[in-house]
A = this chain, B = another copy of it.
Amino acid sequence: MPARFPLPPGSMIGVLGGGQLGRMLALAAARLGFDVTILEPEPDSPASRVAARTLEAPYDDREALMTLAATCDVVTFEFENVPAAVVEQLEMLGALAAPGKRPLAIAQDRVSEKQFFQGLGIATADFADIAGPDDIAAALPQLGGRALLKTRREGYDGKGQTWVEGAADAEAAWRRIGGKPAILEAKVPFVRELSVIAARGRSGEVACYPVGENRHENGVLRTTLAPAHISAATRAEAEAIATKTLEALDYVGVIGVELFELHDGALRVNEFAPRVHNSGHWTLDGCEVDQFEQHVRAVAGWPLGKTAALAEVEMTNLLGFEADAWQALAAEPDARVWLYGKREARAGRKMGHVNRLRPMKESQP
């Protein structure tokens, strides 16, 4: 690793994005004695209120990027919609960005992402690259007649995607996603949605957290149960997928890899997020070293921390006005409430989460 690593305490870590992930990264960084600079266009962001410094500017603001490059010992990001060009610019300005622009560029384009996994021999849903409604009609038969159309870029939490109900729906579906370059994905007959949160350090070491079992509602993560109740073989496959992905990307930091489990325990990868991940929030109370500290350790060149589960955790997102139940949640024994400091509760907005802890069953890893 470059000579400047491991970064000593007191170093400055830059974070692109000031939402809850940036906030929890900043809290973790502070525990290890680091300072944090947030770059975020919105005023009064959740992360800005726990960071040593906030640059309130668009992500591509030249002056802000120059300041980040000049004052931060490493720069990372809390979400994958930062333009890869911004990370490239940061690097040209002399900044060290982690996980770097390649994972970001791949994750930002669903077609590149699927191709990347297939190139590694990791099974995904069957898919077709879609440039217009004619492509949809043409690809639909070999994708099962009913398939999921997603914009190649910028969709998240179920936005920018729609089911195509048949060839006759091709035109309308194309319009529903805004008429943008897209991917058409065959339906995966999964029995469970899983995810692996894993980290790779600057020396190349990899550490996987126990697999989480996720339930989505309306495209948004609702709960994660971890460690998931899966076979040892499925867990090993999930870890192998995460490890192969991290190594192929020469990745530094925490990654979230979303998986579908089929009825026979086989896995299909859905996508990866080149950052800390909502389905890893259970680690905040379920592990000695949580995913946020793990990410800070990785990008700072520190040794990775232990990822074993200390408890079985059910993480539930608090969406919109659900966070108004904070009083009841705070009174619940063995429940740990995390609130993100967002000023305004809008329907579906992630306002916080609660981790409910149960003792580990002996049989679990």
Contacts and interface: CB of A to CB of B under 8 A. Distances in A.
B30 A49 contact: yes
Contact of A326 (B27, B33, B338): B33
Given A52-B49, A323-B9, A336-B288, A35 B341 contact: yes
Contacts of A103: none
Interface stretch (A169-177, A179-187, A302-310): A302-310
A23 interface: yes
Interface string A1-27: 000001011100000000000010011
Interface residues of A, number: 42
B338 A288 contact: no
B306 A333 contact: yes
A50 interface: yes
Given A6-B327, A27-B31, A27-B50, 6 more contacts: A9-B341, A30-B50, A49-B51, A49-B52, A302-B330, A306-B334
Nearest to A338: B31
A33 B339 contact: yes
Given A27-B27, A49-B35, A339-B33, A288 B330 contact: no
Nearest to A302: B330
Contacts of A310: 310
A34 to B, nearest CB: 8
Given A338-B31, A339-B9, A303 B326 contact: no
Interface of A: 6, 8-10, 23, 26-27, 30-35, 49-52, 285, 288-289, 297, 302-303, 305-306, 310, 323, 326-327, 330-331, 333-334, 336-341, 343, 352, 357
A285 B288 contact: yes
A341 B50 CA distance: 14
Contact of A297 (B35, B303, B330, B334): B330
Contacts of A326: 8-9, 32-33
9 contacts: A9-B326, A10-B343, A23-B30, A27-B27, A27-B31, A30-B341, A32-B326, A32-B338, A33-B326
Contacts of A330: 32, 297, 302-303, 305
A51 to B, nearest CB: 8
**Top-10 shortest CB links A-B:** A33-B339, A49-B52, A303-B331, A9-B339, A30-B50, A33-B341, A50-B50, A302-B330, A27-B27, A35-B49
